[in-house]
Amino acid sequence: MFVLEARTERIAILALTVLMAATRIEHFGAGQITPDASTAVFFLAGLLIGNPLWLLAFLAEALLLDLTAIKVVGVEAVCVTLGYGLMIPAYSALWLAARWVRKTDKLSVSSVAKLVCACFIGVLGFFLFSNIGYYFGGGFESSMGLEEYARRVMRYFPQYLTDTLFYSAAGVAIAVLAAHFVPRRRLVSR
């Protein structure tokens, strides 16, 4: 169901690229326009895009957006620490979680439950990797214990999960509608 034809896949790539660029502005501190969709972009990319090299392209986009925010917009680089490299496995966790349910044949109660479960697991993996990187890369291990740090950051997990589920549900709904209403190209044998 989520294995798209080449044309539809290109449209999904473009839409996800624009979505991350358009919503990451809130992440940069430029206002509460819309929640950051980056986690959902990686989840949806893993679900909808066949070539795994696109994971690298989306990682590069996230890095370029962060660099633009810091160098051009002037946002403080407080989140960019030595642990920033753990964003690679963090975003990869979302991508890989979606790969688990990529070949779903049709939407049913059990397949939707698998999608939600995969999204939860992906967000949990993202949250763990990104926060471990920030804890050790940001030097917090010398100023506060891991237990205290975990207690402080856990309050952000529900928002990450909610935002990712919302954007992912919208993306899945659009993909299902597109698959239903967009006519497939037929090969004509001669």
Domain that holds residue 61: 6-181
Q: How many domains does the chain have?
A: 1
For residue 125, pLDDT beyond 90: yes
* Percentage of the chain exceeding pLDDT 70: 89
Average pLDDT over residues 31-52: 89
Which of 135 and 90 is assigned the larger pLDDT? Answer: 90
From the CB of residue 36, how many other CB atoms can be counted at a distance below 10 Å? 20
State the residue for tokens 């926060």: 131
Q: Are 107 and 176 in contact (CB under 8 A)?
A: yes
Mean pLDDT for the chain?
A: 87
- Residue 137: what pLDDT? 83
Q: How confident is the model at residue 74 (pLDDT cuts 50, 70, 90)?
A: confident
Neighbours of 85 (CB within 10 A): 12
pLDDT digits (tens, 9 = 90+) for 96-120: 999 999 988 788 899 999 999 999 9
The reply to whether 187 falls in a domain is no
